[in-house]
Amino acid sequence: MPSPLRFHFDFSSPYGYLASERIEALAARHGRAVDWRPMLLGAVFKIAGTQPLTSVPLKGDYTRRDLPRSARFHGIEFRMPSTFPIATQAPARIVVWQRSVDPGGCAAIVRALYRAYFVENRDISNADVAADAAATTGVSRDGARAAIDDPAIKDALRRDVDAAIAAGVFGSPFVFVDDEPFWGLDRFEQIDRWLAQGGF
Amino acid sequence: MPSPLRFHFDFSSPYGYLASERIEALAARHGRAVDWRPMLLGAVFKIAGTQPLTSVPLKGDYTRRDLPRSARFHGIEFRMPSTFPIATQAPARIVVWQRSVDPGGCAAIVRALYRAYFVENRDISNADVAADAAATTGVSRDGARAAIDDPAIKDALRRDVDAAIAAGVFGSPFVFVDDEPFWGLDRFEQIDRWLAQGGF
């Protein structure tokens, strides 16, 4: 059984959202599953001395134009949220909790949370909003809400983020195919060829 | 006659080099020419508070892996130069000079200079090395060498760089299709569709 594609993403990352809508089909084409790894880019920004794309002079204006264009190019519904960026501990912890209960449910939860933010313009940094969005997939609303304040889940997310950074993750989306790192939706074609040919 | 694709690049930019090897074919498929616009990313870094990719913690390691992989993916010869990054006034001024003499000769000169640096590992920040590389395309070696110290050419390059930044250029490669901006070789597929469909 080949290892799953490890998909690192931040819930506040628009390109992470676009990639989340494509990663499952890409993995499935090659008989792979997806290991959903929410992370907190804020921790990376501190280490790398970088900042959210939209805050960088010049780059910010371009990004606000590139995002809806890239969404149209890939045929993905997208609307820039009115509050951006946001803290993403709440949705990230829900995914960490779901992974501990039933990893198979993560894909639907990630999609529901990401769409709540990048399609429905709902502020998923709010614990109740995040729990409501997760509950639309059929999981327990109370379970999801409780996970956000659960010290064990908080610790697990913190360990995940540290491990991701130690592995070299500095942006979102970031995918590992076995040990090979790929940054960005822009690298999905390289991933496709890498999986088909076993490297190149 | 449709307007040429305006191709902004820095001679020290590895992704700019990779893109320079693909932009002409892309433009030609849609009956367009290429307007070669060397720029100086150092001026952008000052404004945007950014720095060369390879100098950013975490991102630097990834980039050193992604570059040769992306070159293999696109089937382009590439070798990371032993001195990197470099100042690129000398090669940029040669292109500005060539454009004033005969714009049709720019493509060959850009290719010769870029390959001298990213294939042959020659330090084109050196005026004599840059003039030698340009001369391999058949232009006057003395003319190219003199252009590097010509105050009028220096001014013209400075105006070009200012104009590029005013237009929103913050990275290399950066392409304008009419007024639509595209950053990176990663956007060449979007450019292709944009040209085919007149936008999307």
The 10s digit of each residue's pLDDT in B2-18 is: 899 999 999 999 999 99
**What mean pLDDT is reported for chain B?**
95
Q: Which of A49, A62, A66 sits opposite B57 (nearest CB)?
A: A49
Asked if residue B118 lies in contact with residue B68, where contact means CB atoms within 8 angstroms, the answer is no
A13 pLDDT more than 80:
yes
Q: How far apart are CA A99 and CA A79, in angstroms?
A: 28
Distances (CA, A) of B88 to A118, B127, B130: 41, 10, 10
Contact B59 A50 (CB under 8 A): yes
Out of A92-106, A159-173, B55-69, which region has the weakest mean confidence (pLDDT)? B55-69
- Residues near A104 by beta carbon (within 8 Å), at least 6 away in sequence: none
Name the band, by pLDDT with cuts 50, 70 and 90, for residue A97: very high
Read off the pLDDT of each residue in B60-85 and give the average, rounded to a whole number: 96
Determine the pLDDT at residue B19.
Answer: 98
Q: How far apart are CA B102 and CA B106, in angstroms?
A: 8
Kindly report the nearest CA distance between residue B73 and chain A, in angstroms.
7
Read off the pLDDT of each residue in B81-105 and give the average, rounded to a whole number: 96
Query: What type of residue is B107?
Result: A
CATH code of the domain covering residue A171: 3.40.30.10
- Could you give the ipTM of this predicted complex? 0.93
Residue A85: cis peptide before it, omega within 30 degrees of 0? yes
Q: Which residues of B make CB contacts under 8 Å with A?
A: 44, 47-50, 56-59, 61-62, 65-66, 69-70, 72-73, 165, 168-171, 181, 183-184, 186-187, 189-190, 193, 200
Chain A residues in contact with B43 (beta carbon < 8 A): none
**Count of domains for chain A:** 1
Whole-model pTM over 0.90: yes
Asked if residue A48 lies in contact with residue B59, where contact means CB atoms within 8 angstroms, the answer is yes
Contact B200 A72 (CB under 8 A): yes
- Residues near A139 by beta carbon (within 8 Å), at least 6 away in sequence: A98, A105, A109
Domain that holds residue B52: 5-197
Contact B190 A49 (CB under 8 A): no
Chain B residues in contact with A183 (beta carbon < 8 A): 62, 66
